[in-house]
Amino acid sequence: MSLPVDVPAEQDAAVLHEQQAAPLARRVVAQARVEMRTVLRNGEQLVITLVLPVLLLVGLTRTSLVDLGTEDRIGLVAPGVLALAVMSTAFTSQAIATGFDRRNGVLRLLATTPLGRRGLLTGKVLGIAGIQLLQMAVLVAVSLALGWSPAIAGVPGALLVVVLGTAAFTSLALLVAGTLRAEAVLAVANLLWVLLLAGGAVLLPASLLPAPLAEVAVLLPSGALGEALRTVLTEGAVPLVPVAVLTAWTVLLGGAAVRLFRWH
């Protein structure tokens, strides 16, 4: 049996904190890097975040299997694929990752380290942003190679819409991941992705959907994101209605996630 040794408890707690925790930026960046590597290492995640969007981009542009009602196929498809990529990364991929991390105690363990709960969430958001930068770079490059000529004046507006869409879908991801069991998160995240892809006006414009669905779809976060990106990247001006819809969803879903998210 050994004697208790002196512990520097007289020191101010704040001083100890600074002595022993890594700086905030380093903690958050470390978390963001792990989040990004987890996506890039995982085959299924790569399919949904990169492979599938590229296939859709090429397939819908180079074949006429789907009647898009326009000659400028790439002008319509490229913004839609960007919107889909935002939805895949911020929602489906993030919901599944967070749902399983929650079940496996990862969220709780990291919350006991100097990273803390806020650092963990910030790291996740930065990780999503990093993945999206990568996605955008690849998808924009492929689109340009396929002959896309977006409205340059619309680029800043498009970035704003992407940020807003990411906020709305990340909130939805955390809401689902923080309230349901991991298996249910997996099912809901994949199902919603398929349903919104088919009828949510994210990839293809609402005008191509049957009448009642078309009116509903533009009010969904998927439709608002898709319509906003299509408009701003072809006409150069930010459309107010879809942006307002997206903002409303962000507030609603973000508020619900903050209230209902359970760490255990």
CB 29, min distance to another protein, A = 9
The answer to whether 16 contacts another protein (rule: CB under 8 A) is yes
Q: Which is nearer to another protein, 42 or 234 (CB)?
A: 42
Q: Which is nearer to another protein, 259 or 264 (CB)?
A: 264
The Cα 202–Cα 217 span in angstroms is 9
Part in contact with another protein (CB under 8 A); list of ranges 24-32, 68-76, 81-89, 245-253: 24-32
Cα 141 to Cα 78, 130, 149, 239, distances in angstroms: 10, 17, 11, 25
The answer to whether 40 contacts another protein (rule: CB under 8 A) is no
The answer to whether 9 contacts another protein (rule: CB under 8 A) is yes
The answer to whether 259 contacts another protein (rule: CB under 8 A) is no
The Cα 120–Cα 56 span in angstroms is 33
CB 83, min distance to another protein, A = 27
The Cα 213–Cα 204 span in angstroms is 13
Part in contact with another protein (CB under 8 A); list of ranges 16-24, 161-169, 194-202, 230-238: 16-24
Torsion of CA 63, 64, 65, 70, to 10 degrees: 130
The answer to whether 19 contacts another protein (rule: CB under 8 A) is yes
Q: Find the binder of another protein among 63, 240, 259, 264 (CB under 8 A).
A: 264
- Near another protein in 42-71, by CB under 8 A: 42
Q: Collapsing DSSP states into helix, strand and coil, what is residue 68?
A: coil
- Near another protein in 177-236, by CB under 8 A: none
Residues listed for the chain: 264
Q: Find the binder of another protein among 38, 190, 234, 247 (CB under 8 A).
A: 38
Total residues binding another protein (CB under 8 A) = 46
Q: Label residues 184-222 b or e (16+ Cβ within 10 Å = b).
A: ebbebbeebbeebbebbbbbbbbeebeeeebeebbebbb
Q: For residue 150, is it left (φ>0), alpha (ψ between -120 and 50) or beta? A: beta
- Near another protein in 77-136, by CB under 8 A: 100-101, 104-106, 108-116
The residue behind tokens 């209902």 is: 260
Residues binding another protein (CB under 8 A): 1-7, 9-14, 16-23, 26-27, 30-31, 34, 37-38, 41-42, 100-101, 104-106, 108-116, 263-264
